[in-house]
């Protein structure tokens, strides 16, 4: 009986992965439309807290946007930084042909806390009808503004771009592979009409949608403020777009250590715990592969377990190939064996981390 149950669960797991890979490979997703005429003025909002190591890279990418500079309003919110973030930002943007301002954030607006509070201040200072939100550790592509605007439409409140973690180390590349494949699965669910999430490091929010929900100051506190905003706009009847295309592909700096990565993922898990039960159940089932594999090895021996693992690597390699191809990158398929070890360690440690009553730290602030 245990062997039969494990077999059924694993077959179901493989059907989900195979179906997701097929859907991702065959469905083109949202397609770009002609840009608005005349081109609109847009606001780029960046929340920063002690980001002197990354802010110059972020703003240099902003300066390289091929959107008309006089239509760009760049607002940097300095969230009580104790380093040289503001000074480096001002130096990097010196001579910028568009508008650039540093907004010191010293007071709390309504219910907003942390990054949400910074964005609440920045949206109040913004003068356009389009809020482009990114993070200090992100470098957006030159085509970012046009790429996102090409998916704007009446009634669409949020547009989420694509982000790839990248860096020179093996640990960095494993993060990138894991993250892009996860976004591929999010894309599949979103294309099926189920709103999953948005990413606050590469997101467009219209002023109409933002003001309809009362802004961040009206939302209950969440460490995943982007997901809270996304859900609020959905409840207000606004549509969304999830874009998996190279013209909106931003590059994120990787987490430097496993501890930093766990802190980041623990924060994301907070948002995932607010998903509908159907999506949460599906996510738990998908991440439960390794316990099922261990159970199979215990009941049937290492041979069948090794075969199942090989089939998993083959299917996930196919998913990785299609994800990277759509993003305009070459898939590092040689990483797949190491990715299995990486995913096993991450799944085990995150599960333990979640079950224990531990707090976590993010941007110098501690959360539970």
Low-confidence ranges of the chain (pLDDT < 70): 1, 267-286, 353-368
Residues 6+ apart with CB under 8 A from 314: none
- Same-domain pairing of 307 and 289: yes
- Same-domain pairing of 181 and 279: no
- Same-domain pairing of 100 and 138: yes
pTM of the model: 0.90
Indicate which CATH number applies to the domain containing 169: 3.90.550.10
Q: Which domain holds residue 176?
A: 42-271
Q: How many domains does the chain have?
A: 2
pLDDT at 260: 83
- Same-domain pairing of 92 and 194: yes
Helix (H) / strand (E) element for 323: namely helix 302-326
User: Looking at beta carbons, which pairs linking 178-184 to residues 24 or more positions away fall under 8 Å?
Assistant: 178/339, 178/342, 178/343, 178/346, 180/320, 180/323, 180/324, 180/327, 181/316, 181/319, 181/320, 181/323, 183/244, 183/323, 184/20, 184/24, 184/244, 184/319, 184/322, 184/323
- Same-domain pairing of 172 and 243: yes
- Same-domain pairing of 50 and 101: yes
What would the pLDDT profile of 24-80 be if each residue is shown by its tens digit?
A: 999 888 899 999 889 999 999 999 999 999 999 999 999 999 999 999 999 999 998
Query: Can you give the length of the chain in residues?
Result: 368
- Same-domain pairing of 14 and 156: no
- Same-domain pairing of 229 and 348: no
- Same-domain pairing of 108 and 82: yes
- Same-domain pairing of 74 and 166: yes
Computed on alpha carbons and rounded to an integer, the radius of gyration of the chain in Å comes to: 21
- Same-domain pairing of 277 and 242: no
- Same-domain pairing of 48 and 109: yes
pLDDT at 284: 67
- Joined tokens for residue 316: 């996930």
What is the rounded distance in angstroms from the CA atom of residue 210 to the CA atom of residue 200? 14
Given 250, 271, 292, the domain boundary residue is: 271
What would the pLDDT profile of 332-367 be if each residue is shown by its tens digit?
A: 999 999 998 898 888 777 777 666 655 555 555 555
């Amino acid at each position: 009986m245990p062997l039969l149950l494990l077999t059924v669960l694993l077959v179901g797991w493989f059907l989900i992965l195979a179906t997701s890979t097929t859907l991702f490979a065959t469905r083109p997703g949202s397609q770009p439309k002609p840009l608005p005429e005349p081109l609109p003025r847009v606001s780029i909002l960046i929340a920063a807290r002690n980001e002197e190591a990354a802010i110059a890279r972020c703003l240099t990418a902003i300066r390289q946007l091929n959107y008309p500079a006089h239509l760009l309003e760049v607002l940097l919110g300095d969230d009580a930084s104790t380093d040289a973030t503001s000074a480096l930002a001002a130096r990097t943007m010196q001579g910028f042909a568009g508008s650039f301002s540093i907004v010191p954030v010293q007071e709390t607006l309504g219910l907003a806390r942390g990054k949400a509070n910074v964005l609440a201040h920045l949206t109040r200072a913004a003068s356009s009808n389009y809020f482009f939100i990114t993070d200090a550790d992100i470098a957006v592509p030159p085509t970012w503004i046009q790429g996102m605007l090409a998916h704007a439409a009446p009634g669409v409140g949020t547009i989420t771009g694509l982000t790839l973690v990248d860096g020179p180390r093996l640990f960095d590349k494993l993060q990138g592979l894991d993250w892009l494949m996860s976004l591929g699965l999010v894309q599949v669910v979103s294309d099926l009409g189920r709103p999953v999430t948005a990413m606050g490091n590469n997101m467009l929010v219209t002023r109409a949608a933002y003001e309809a929900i009362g802004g961040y100051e009206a939302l209950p506190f969440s460490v995943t403020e982007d997901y809270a905003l996304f859900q609020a706009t959905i409840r207000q009847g606004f549509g969304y777009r999830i874009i998996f295309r190279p013209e909106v592909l931003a590059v994120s700096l990787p987490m430097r250590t496993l501890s930093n990565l766990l802190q980041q993922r623990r924060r994301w898990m907070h948002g995932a715990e607010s998903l509908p039960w159907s999506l949460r159940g599906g996510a738990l089932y998908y991440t439960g592969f390794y316990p099922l594999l261990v159970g199979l090895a215990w009941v049937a021996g290492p041979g069948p377990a090794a075969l199942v693992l090989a089939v998993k690597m083959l299917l996930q390699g196919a998913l990785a190939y299609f994800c990277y191809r759509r993003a305009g990158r070459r898939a590092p398929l040689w990483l797949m064996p190491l990715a299995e070890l990486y995913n096993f360690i991450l799944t085990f440690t995150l599960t333990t981390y979640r079950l224990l009553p531990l707090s976590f730290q993010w941007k110098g602030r501690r959360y539970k």
